Amino acid sequence: MQHVKANKRNRIILLSAIIFFFGFFIINYVHFRMSRRVFSANLTGSVLPACADTVVGKINGVKEKYSLANRLIADSVDLSRFRVNGREDADRILDFVRRKRIELGAKNVGLVFLETDTYYDSFGHILELDYSSDRDSWVQDFLDAPETDRFSLYDPDNSVELYSFFFDSKIVSDSGELSGIIGTGISLDSFSLNIAGEKRKTRMLFAEPDGELRLPLDYRGRSFFDEYNLDGPAESLGDGSHYLAEKGGSTLMLYIRFIPEIERYLIIEHDITDSYKDLQRQSIITFAAGMVFSLLLVALNHILVSRAGRKLSIKGYTDSLTESYNRHFLEEYFGRSNRNQRQISLMTLDIDHFKEVNDNLGHLAGDFILKEVSRLAKNQIRDEDFIVRWGGDEFVLVVHTGMQRALDISERIRARIEQESSVTVTIGVVEMRDNEDFTTALSRADQAMYRAKHEGRNKVNSGV
């Protein structure tokens, strides 16, 4: 019976542990997802916009610096001085643009002579302009524009070596006629490294409004959405939008900013693979530590509950005075136990003249006698047998044996009590019959005990 209750208790503890495990797992998983969401929100709402602001700020800073310098050159240069005998002196022009490139610390300086439709730059190029070509269409676009100065990203498909941020200024002759254009180009590579160097896991890209990537050069011509395996129409590439992408085993956060000055989208790509792994690692460590702590709590709870259960069981089934089993235990034992055809004998033991002991010597002496009788009787039976205080001064012993051995045991108990205590006992003994219930067998044992009392007490009598 106690074993059945212990198994039930263990199942409840196991179920509690499983619920605790899954509950902690779900809480930890939700916390991990929330941490990722907060981390991503912080990136897209603060870090990456700040990075984009830095890029735009640097572009504007460079723009202010070089546009002013370029305008000063445009205002001071006299293209007529580069003509000798009515023809342009190419060597003097190339020397001029090279010196200006060095002075400005620029990547390139170019000069357009509109009279001859010729382009010279600090790389030593001398080109005849074809306004209809992709390479030279920018000249016609600028000439048609009302502005005298322009800042742009020059990225022709067929001249990748010329990719630059360009500051163009129109040159007006003393007579007020438009005579040329001077442009200062800033290296994209050094500019990109300057930006990326601020955050090693961050890089920048530039794209056309339709999503075609233009920079860096190794991305040129690719689609933004194809490059990052994203679904969406080109028009969804909007100012302030952001994307989470997987590429080459890395997790990337992308932030989009439109720069109207160059009519390009700036794409800030930030590698968050390590950050996500750190969050995952922290989550695993937290989960593992929590589970260890939880298992310790479950184990401690199991120990405490088991001990408490044993104590409750002992209190529930044990007589507090004699520490023998009580009536409740005996009733449940026969209500639940399977006899399996085993022989069982019952003994009812009653202390002779116990009322006189209580009346003459007091209840403390009576309690002592009860404990002594219980102890002496218990010492004469095996571990599988047990003694029960049935009530008052009456005890019931259950021994797993037949009538003859039960009579022998009863006689030993009677004799030992007579020898080692100040009282005697009368015992009735019966062997339980097949299919006989406990109440009937106990009644027969009581009758046997009463017959022994009528015969003079301090006797053992077998029932019929």
Question: 55: which residues sit within 8 A by CB, 6+ positions away?
Answer: 195, 204, 257, 266, 268
Q: Which residues pair with 394 in a beta bridge?
A: 350, 391
Last residue of a domain, one of 133, 157, 189: 189
CA–CA separation, 356 and 341 (whole Å) = 42
| Structural domain count of the chain | 2
Q: Is residue 364 part of a domain?
A: yes
Dihedral sign (CA 449, 455, 458, 461): negative
Q: Is residue 370 part of a domain?
A: yes
The CATH number of the domain holding residue 155 is 3.30.450.20
Stretches where the chain sits below pLDDT 50 are 1-2, 193, 196-198, 312
Q: Domain of 174?
A: 77-189
Q: Is residue 287 part of a domain?
A: no
Residue pLDDT, tens place only, 353-378: 999 999 899 999 999 999 999 999 99
Q: Is residue 33 part of a domain?
A: no
CA–CA separation, 224 and 71 (whole Å) = 36
Last residue of a domain, one of 163, 189, 215: 189
pLDDT (0 to 100) of residue 338: 54
CA–CA separation, 51 and 57 (whole Å) = 10
pLDDT (0 to 100) of residue 180: 92
Last residue of a domain, one of 140, 168, 189: 189
Q: Which of 103, 102, 80 is nearest to 175 (CA)?
A: 80
pLDDT (0 to 100) of residue 197: 46
pLDDT (0 to 100) of residue 198: 46
Q: Is residue 368 part of a domain?
A: yes
pLDDT (0 to 100) of residue 1: 47
pLDDT (0 to 100) of residue 5: 54
3-state secondary structure the chain: CHHHHHHHHHHHHHHHHHHHHHHHHHHHHHHHHHHHHHHHHHHHHHHHHHHHHHHHHHHHHHHHHHHHHHHHHHHHCCHHHHEECCEECHHHHHHHHHHHHHHHCCCEEEEEECCCCEEEECCCCEEECCCCCCCCHHHHHHHHCCCCEEEEEECCCCCHHHCEEEEEEEEECCCCCEEEEEEEEEEHHHHHHHHHCCCCCEEEEEECCCCEEEECHHHCCCEHHHHCCCCCCHHHCCCCCEEEEEECCEEEEEEEEEECCCCEEEEEEEECHHHHHHHHHHHHHHHHHHHHHHHHHHHHHHHHHHHHHHHHHHHHHECCCCCCEEHHHHHHHHHHCCCCCCCCEEEEEEECCHHHHHHHHCHHHHHHHHHHHHHHHHCCCCCCCEEEEEECCEEEEEECCCHHHHHHHHHHHHHHHHHHCCCCEEEEEEECCCCCCHHHHHHHHHHHHHHHHHCCCCCEEECC
Q: Is residue 9 part of a domain?
A: no
Q: Is residue 317 part of a domain?
A: no
The CATH number of the domain holding residue 431 is 3.30.70.270
Exposure string over 408-418, b if 16+ CB within 10 A, otherwise e: ebbebbbebbe
Residue pLDDT, tens place only, 91-123: 999 999 999 999 888 888 999 999 899 999 998
Q: Is residue 427 part of a domain?
A: yes
Tell me phi and psi for residue 429, to 5 degrees: -125, 135
